[in-house]
Amino acid sequence: MTETNLVETNSETTFMGSAAQDKAEVDTTSSQLSNDKLIEMLKSMMQIRRFEERTMQSYMQQKIGGFCHIYIGQEAVAVGSIGATKPDDPIVGAYRDHGLALARGMDPKYAMAEMFGKITGCAKGKGGSMHFFDKEHHMYGGHAIVGGQCPLGAGLAFAIQYEKKDNVVLCYFGDGAVNQGAFHEAFNLASIWNLPVIFVLENNSYSMGTHINRGTAMANDLRAKAEAYGMRYAECDGLDVLDVYTTFKREIDRTRNAANPQWERGIIPDYKREGAPVGPCFMNVKTYRYKGHSMSDPQKYRAKEEVEAKQELDPINRLVNHLIDNNIATQDQIDEFDKAAKAEAQAAVKFANESPEMPIEELFTDIYVNPYGPYKKGGLPQMLQGKDLE
């Protein structure tokens, strides 16, 4: 870890109204959200931001091991999109999953404990940062294989269709997944079976350190990816939580309404740019991550000025300005919300610190082992039977 990263890790954002936000306002033209809903969204984004800052700090203190991918800058994507779902609509994501889990309702204590490798974690400490899972809140995991969650999203949608439910799956992935075979296979099946799924590209412009324009064909118009599979396409400003919410609400309703008895192959909708066919949708959410790809990323592939320009469009500050300008909240109230978010993040770290370590016996539970081989001498090795522990 470089000294530069250490300095950045310890920095904190200040949420202030009317500060450096002249370049962009939130889109309120189609939003019919109540004041309570707007404040709820702000609190949720603050919760993610403060949780992530404590995550970085804990990582630097070596409380967290392995890979760790920070979500700061992308909070509006998780909060806006998940805010437009029903609580039992399944979501599935990639390794940058902290924000998705918190926005879906995971208790920050269990999220932090998971990264600390503690038994109280959401996956008993076995998954770590990249593998949050929360069955109670219908979050079906963060997945570390790039694009690997796309077939899982299609599978969840197939289950919904098979059981004739009216849910919609949100399947999140990053820029790099667009070029994976699993992405295209999932799109193909979702389209020919008219599955109730929205594939969500969290387009932060970088596949690790490679700009999307250098690694993805037709990056200037990703609509082509949807058209190739006869799938509906939409995009929104991922730094504007209200634009995210209203766009997702519209497209989720369209996809949910496609869950009628006529889903056989014979009624596959034709793709029409103006016709907005029902069924699956490819959503391109243009966002930005302020931090590196992971905690070990020195970020030599982008200029400091580029990051600073994006930070001026900060999604939390944009909503803060909207709330203050429209007399929905005062700066004092904003400060209290932020104070609560900081306290909650600190409590999560304390809980994780004080939680017991995962017992070594847990290494042999919740795993799949083929007892019949192919093992030498025809038997299951003692180590896989847990006998080495005796």
- Beta-carbon contacts of residue 348 (< 8 Å; ≥ 6 apart): 51, 54, 108, 109, 111, 112, 113
Annotation: CATH topology of 30-356 = Rossmann fold (3.40.50)
**Exposed, middle or buried by CB within 10 Å (0-12, 13-18, 19+), for 223?**
middle
Block residue for tokens 């999932």: 186
Report whether the peptide linkage leading into residue 374 is cis, meaning its omega lies within 30 degrees of zero.
yes
**Residue 75 pLDDT:** 98
d(CA 248, CA 285): 10
Which DSSP letter does residue 135 get? G
Strand partners, 200: 172, 283
- Exposure string for 168-207, b = 16+ CB within 10 A, e = fewer: bbbbbbbbbbbebebbbebbebbbebbbbbbbbbbbbbbb
Give me the tens of pLDDT residue by residue for the chain, a chain 390 residues long. 333 333 344 457 778 776 545 556 676 655 678 999 999 999 999 999 999 999 999 999 999 999 999 999 999 999 999 999 999 999 999 999 999 999 999 999 999 999 999 999 999 999 999 999 999 999 999 999 999 999 999 999 999 999 989 999 999 999 999 999 999 999 999 998 889 999 999 999 999 999 999 999 999 999 999 989 988 999 999 999 999 999 999 999 989 877 554 444 344 555 554 555 678 999 999 999 999 999 999 999 999 999 999 999 999 999 999 999 999 999 999 999 999 999 999 999 999 999 999 998 888 888 877 777 677 666 777 766 766 555
Where are the chain's structural domains? 30-356
Is 66 exposed, middle or buried, given 0-12, 13-18 or 19+ CB atoms closer than 10 A?
A: middle
Identify whether the C-beta of residue 125 lies closer than 8 Å to the C-beta of residue 60. Answer: no
pLDDT of residue 102: 98
Q: Decide if 36 contacts 329 (C-beta within 8 A).
A: no
pLDDT of residue 380: 73
The DSSP result for 264-326, as a single string, is SGGGPPPP-TTT--SS-EEEEEE---SS-SSTT---TTS-HHHHHHHHTT-HHHHHHHHHHHT
d(CA 323, CA 326): 5
- pLDDT for 9 equals 46
The helix or strand, by DSSP H or E, that contains position 141, with its residue range, turns out to be strand 139-142
**What is the reported pLDDT for 24?**
66
Q: Which residues, in sequence order, are CB contacts of 109 under 8 Å at separation 6+?
A: 120, 347, 348, 351, 352
Which one-letter amino acid corresponds to residue 120?
T
